[in-house]
Amino acid sequence: MLGLHPFTIVIFLTTAFWLWMMVDCILNKSLRDTEKVLWFLLIFFTQIAGAIIYFIIGRTKRNIVH
**DSSP alpha helices (H): ranges in 1-66?**
6-27, 33-46, 48-53
Alpha-carbon gap, residue 17 to 63, rounded angstroms: 19
The one-letter amino acid code at 58 reads: G
What is the predicted pLDDT for the residue at 5?
A: 85
What is the predicted pLDDT for the residue at 2?
A: 65
* Per-residue model confidence as pLDDT tens digits over 5-64: 889 999 999 999 999 999 999 999 889 999 999 999 999 999 999 999 999 998 866 555
